[in-house]
Copies of this chain bind each other. A is one copy, B any other.
Amino acid sequence: MRMSERVEWAAHCAVLLALLPDGRSLTAAQLAEYHGVPGPYLAKSLQALMQAGIVASRSGRSGGYRLARAADAVSLLDVFDAIEGEGAFFRCTEIRRRGPSRVAAARYTPVCGVAGAMWEAEQAWRASLARVNIADLAAGTVADAPPEAVAKGVRWLATVRVT
């Protein structure tokens, strides 16, 4: 059970957008160049973030992406759900209701113990991710990254066409 690497891309894009000066935006191609990932494929992830209301896009000649709301109002869980969809890790196949011990469907409890335990674990996971927001990650990124890398990033930002 491995999550799509697009989640990592989307999270880092959100962090970078959070670090932009006010009013500034970046195109899909610029975000792809900065992270060194295939551009047309990253676009797909940005579309997902858009449908989830995390980023806003502006079309046309000077278009691009920017965060749709304040960075501290976007949790890492929001990003994950936007990319991976909201389906649970564990999906019941109702194997209780097959085989020789089956009885009428109405007689069963809604979920058995296995499903309950899985659901509870998943809630713990989601709660942990929900506690982290993009603003925290952006601050941490600047603080933890090598100073030279930050400087190079700022320099790069100055070279790309302002949109």
Task: Give residues in A with beta carbon < 8 Å to B.
Answer: 1-5, 7-9, 11-12, 15, 33-37, 76, 84, 87, 89-93, 95-96, 98-103, 107-109, 112-114, 117-118, 120-122, 124-129, 132, 136-137, 140-141, 144-146, 148-150, 152-153, 156
Contact = CB atoms under 8 A, between A and B. Distances in A.
Given A101-B152, A112-B141, A141-B113, A37 B95 contact: yes
Contacts of A11: 114
A134 B13 CA distance: 42
Contacts of A87: 2
A3 B89 contact: yes
- Helix, strand, loop or mixed for chain A's interface? helix
Given A122-B125, A129-B121, A100 B153 contact: yes
Contacts of A129: 117-118, 121
A31 to B, nearest CB: 10
A140 B113 contact: yes
A79 B159 CA distance: 52
A85 to B, nearest CB: 8
A70 B3 CA distance: 33
